[in-house]
């Protein structure tokens, strides 16, 4: 739904239009931009609080920089809605995160102003440094390179690696630290405490406003004067803060902290910094959710609230007459507490997603046994491995697409050492509106090739609980449990837990001619398909593998002995996934059947609701049923056997 823009915002299509305005008009632009984000997101959904906090910074950057020639890189993208609106996409912003609409994150193929595609955190400094070095190599000495990174993203190792490299390159790069003390949940760790110390140092703050201006003026007096000024400034900063400045130690010029909501002052600073050579860091203090009182008060809740009434703040949720199945993440959150109460060895770990994966429930109930380690997936896995060496059983919960960032640690630190780390991969399969950067498309394939791994996927909530119970038994080794985003299928899900034999699948229903093999929650689409097929006179068998490693060989021998047509269904990539495992089994055992694999094709699939994407890729219930009808023979009657 189109939303009207304010008078000034309505005149801005591109940054060139913004530059035509007077500086005195920019506060009104900020107010209108903030209100526009509130208006659109309230009726269309999307990420919310982060972009409200960067409104003034966005306006100042686009006012001062010569984008897209100057390279502006946004970290993650949650904070870049204002950027999108000011760079030619205001009139289509209502399609943000909607199927076939614009992406919720910066995306190079979408706009020349999106210099780097993002979705995962902490990539901005590395990317901007690469751009800066390239410009230096090409002789583009007038080109600016700016990375805007949230302080939550600063907790990732990749950000530190990039800072370490940038400090020695002497390239023209400006890192803007958007310090709001939040990622999705409140930040944790020593860096957070360090930044808090800086922002609360009153003597230091009394001097901060003059430093950038003085340095900009001195730089015109020659290199010797500039070197002397740098030494004086470093001495002053170190004395007032009573410690060495972390960023200065990495050879960055540090400026701040400054008010990230003072658009005029930001413009002045950015102009001054433009004239200072070398790597620089501007520390901006902002408020996540700025301008919307409820979002300022509860920033985690309003990170991505869904649809809401902008006047009352009521978040709109569908009301049901009957109890509904829970989210898989909540099943995990409640179940790990049950298991931990009975087993003192169990620990919980998450890299900055306690509310997203529901480990926050355990953190509240058992604060000494549940850890948020910051946006640091590699550390999360190896930290879990360290716990496991001491006889503990860590449940390391990481979104499937984020686990890609810790792949070496899974192999080197967990699998090779056969450590009992339970890796719970939330958001497996299609992740919905977050799109290509967040789809958990590859975990079955990238985990399946690693030795010593057990890889499982529950079809429903009861199976998730049983697999978690199974994984915490003694000597289980590296154990993967993958499950999707969203709600399950069972209202009565809190049943007594029991162990599942590792590598043992199950028959959902017997059949003839065609056998469907599924793994994980997508099996519920197969159930829908078979119910309709029975009505239409087709009677395929359905098997739930539960494990892609080790495979249930007895079950597969039964299938290949009995059926000539086999359909595999998985909410994951076809290359190397469960279907590939079935083909390997068939070849290794000299079977000859017609196998059709349904799953995510060898393509980048964009954002959309899960059912929309299943249909696009041909493995929703209707597509599965159509495939069976191509292979099977219609019958008048058939007796199915459930097990």
Which range is least confidently modeled, 102-116, 144-158, 353-367, 414-428?
Answer: 144-158
448 is annotated as an active-site residue: no
Q: What is the mean pLDDT of residues 191-218?
A: 54
Q: Read off the pLDDT of residues 228-282 as tens digits, 9 standing for 90 and up.
A: 555 555 555 555 554 557 888 888 999 988 999 999 999 999 999 998 889 999 9
The confidence band for 220, taking pLDDT boundaries of 50, 70 and 90, is low
Which range is least confidently modeled, 59-73, 114-128, 246-260?
Answer: 246-260
- Residue 399, C-beta contacts closer than 8 angstroms, at least 6 positions apart: 353, 356, 357, 425, 426, 427, 431, 438, 440
288 is annotated as an active-site residue: yes
Q: Is the pLDDT of residue 3 over 70?
A: yes
Q: What is the mean pLDDT of residues 31-40?
A: 94
Q: Is the pLDDT of residue 382 over 90?
A: yes
Q: Is the pLDDT of residue 577 over 70?
A: yes
CB 48 within 8 A of CB 303: yes
The confidence band for 170, taking pLDDT boundaries of 50, 70 and 90, is confident
User: Known binding site for thiamine diphosphate: residues?
Assistant: 78, 119-121, 152-153, 180, 292, 377
E strand segments, 125-235:
145-150, 174-179
Instruction: Report the share of the chain in percent with pLDDT over 90.
Output: 75
Q: Is the pLDDT of residue 190 over 50?
A: yes
The confidence band for 151, taking pLDDT boundaries of 50, 70 and 90, is low
CB 88 within 8 A of CB 113: yes
pLDDT of residue 195: 62
481 or 320, which is more confident:
481
Tokens of 352: 């900055």
- Residue 283, C-beta contacts closer than 8 angstroms, at least 6 positions apart: 177, 179, 195, 198, 199, 254, 255, 256, 257, 258
Query: From the candidates 89, 405, 465, 546, which is the catalytic residue?
Result: 405
pLDDT of residue 641: 47
Which range is least confidently modeled, 190-199, 285-294, 456-465?
Answer: 190-199
Q: Is the pLDDT of residue 636 over 90?
A: no
Query: From the candidates 34, 90, 288, 546, which is the catalytic residue?
Result: 288
- Residue 282, C-beta contacts closer than 8 angstroms, at least 6 positions apart: 174, 175, 176, 177, 255, 256, 258, 269, 270, 273
- Residue 42, C-beta contacts closer than 8 angstroms, at least 6 positions apart: 307, 308, 309, 310
Q: What is the mean pLDDT of residues 169-195?
A: 73
342-372 burial: b if 16+ Cβ within 10 Å, else e: eeebbbbbbbbbbbbbbbbbbbeebeebbbb
Query: From the candidates 56, 233, 248, 377, which is the catalytic residue?
Result: 377
Q: Is the pLDDT of residue 420 over 60?
A: yes
CB 502 within 8 A of CB 493: no
Q: Is the pLDDT of residue 342 over 90?
A: yes
pLDDT of residue 591: 97
Q: What is the mean pLDDT of residues 452-464?
A: 98
CA distance 444 to 548: 8
Q: Which residues partner with 516 through β-bridges? A: 542, 567
In Å, how far are 154, 386, 396, 409, 478 from 379, measured between CA atoms? 14, 10, 11, 8, 17
DSSP 83-105: HHIIIIIGGGGGGTTSTTS--SS
Q: Is the pLDDT of residue 335 over 60?
A: yes
Q: Is the dihedral of CA 269, 271, 274, 277 positive or negative?
A: negative
Average pLDDT taken over every residue of the chain: 90
The confidence band for 321, taking pLDDT boundaries of 50, 70 and 90, is confident
Mutual angle of helices 157-169 and 124-138, in 10-degree steps: 20
Q: Is the pLDDT of residue 206 over 60?
A: no
pLDDT of residue 229: 57
User: Known binding site for Mg(2+): residues?
Assistant: 151, 180
Q: Is the pLDDT of residue 185 over 70?
A: no
The confidence band for 150, taking pLDDT boundaries of 50, 70 and 90, is confident
233 is annotated as an active-site residue: no
């Amino acid at each position: 739904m189109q939303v009207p823009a304010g008078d000034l915002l309505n005149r801005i299509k591109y940054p060139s239009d913004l530059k035509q305005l007077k500086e005195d008009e920019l506060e009104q632009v900020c107010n209108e931009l903030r209100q526009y984000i509130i208006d659109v997101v309230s009726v269309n959904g999307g990420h919310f609080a982060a972009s409200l906090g960067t409104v003034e910074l966005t306006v100042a950057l686009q006012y001062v920089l010569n984008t897209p020639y100057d390279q502006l890189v946004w970290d993650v993208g949650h904070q870049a809605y204002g950027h999108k609106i000011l760079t030619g996409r205001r009139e289509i912003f209502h399609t943000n995160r909607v199927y076939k609409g614009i992406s919720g994150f910066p995306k190079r193929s979408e706009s020349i102003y999106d210099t780097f595609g993002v979705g995962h955190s902490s990539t901005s400094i590395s990317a901007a440094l690469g751009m800066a070095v390239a410009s230096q190599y090409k002789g583009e000495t007038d080109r600016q390179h700016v990375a805007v990174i949230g302080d939550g993203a600063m907790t990732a190792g990749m950000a530190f690696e990039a800072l370490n490299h940038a400090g020695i390159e002497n390239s023209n790069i400006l890192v803007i630290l958007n310090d709001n003390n939040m990622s999705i949940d409140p930040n944790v760790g020593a860096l957070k405490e360090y930044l808090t110390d800086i922002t609360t140092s009153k003597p230091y703050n009394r001097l901060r406003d003059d430093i950038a201006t003085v340095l900009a003026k001195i730089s015109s007096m020659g290199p010797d004067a500039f070197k002397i000024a740098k030494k004086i400034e470093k001495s002053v900063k170190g004395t007032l803060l009573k410690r060495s400045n972390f960023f200065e130690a990495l050879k960055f010029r540090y400026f701040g902290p400054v008010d990230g909501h003072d658009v005029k002052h930001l413009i002045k600073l950015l102009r001054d910094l433009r004239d200072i050579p070398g790597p620089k860091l501007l520390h901006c203090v902002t408020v996540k959710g700025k301008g919307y009182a409820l979002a300022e008060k509860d920033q985690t809740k309003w990170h991505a609230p869904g649809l809401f009434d902008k006047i009352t703040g009521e978040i709109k949720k569908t009301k049901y007459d009957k109890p509904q199945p829970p989210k898989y993440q909540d099943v995990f959150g409640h179940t790990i507490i049950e298991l931990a109460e009975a087993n003192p060895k169990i620990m919980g770990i998450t890299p900055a997603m306690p509310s997203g994966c529901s480990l926050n429930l355990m953190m509240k109930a058992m604060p000494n046994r549940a850890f948020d380690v910051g946006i640091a997936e590699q550390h999360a896995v190896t930290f879990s491995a360290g716990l496991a060496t001491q006889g503990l059983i860590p449940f390391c919960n990481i979104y499937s697409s984020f686990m890609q960032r810790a792949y070496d640690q899974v192999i080197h630190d967990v699998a090779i050492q056969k450590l009992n780390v339970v890796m719970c991969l939330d958001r497996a399969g299609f992740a919905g509106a977050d799109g290509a950067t967040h789809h958990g498309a590859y975990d079955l394939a990238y985990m399946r090739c690693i030795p010593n791994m057990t890889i499982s996927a529950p079809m429903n909530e009861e199976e998730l609980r049983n697999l978690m119970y199974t994984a915490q038994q003694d000597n289980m080794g590296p154990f993967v449990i993958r499950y999707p985003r969203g709600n399950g299928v069972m209202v009565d899900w809190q049943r007594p837990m029991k162990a599942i034999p590792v590598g043992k699948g199950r028959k959902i229903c017997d059949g003839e001619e065609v056998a469907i093999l599924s793994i994980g929650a997508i099996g519920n689409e197969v159930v829908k398909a078979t119910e309709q097929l029975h009505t239409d006179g087709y009677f395929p068998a359905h098997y739930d593998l539960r494990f892609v490693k080790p495979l249930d060989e007895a079950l597969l021998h039964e299938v290949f002995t009995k059926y000539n047509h086999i359909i595999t269904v998985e909410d994951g990539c076809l290359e190397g996934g469960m279907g590939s495992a079935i083909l390997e089994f068939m070849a290794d055992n000299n079977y000859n059947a017609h196998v059709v694999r349904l799953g995510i094709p060898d393509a980048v699939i964009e954002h959309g609701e899960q059912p929309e994407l299943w249909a696009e890729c041909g493995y929703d219930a209707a597509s599965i049923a159509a495939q069976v009808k191509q292979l099977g023979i219609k019958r008048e009657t058939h007796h199915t056997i459930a097990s």
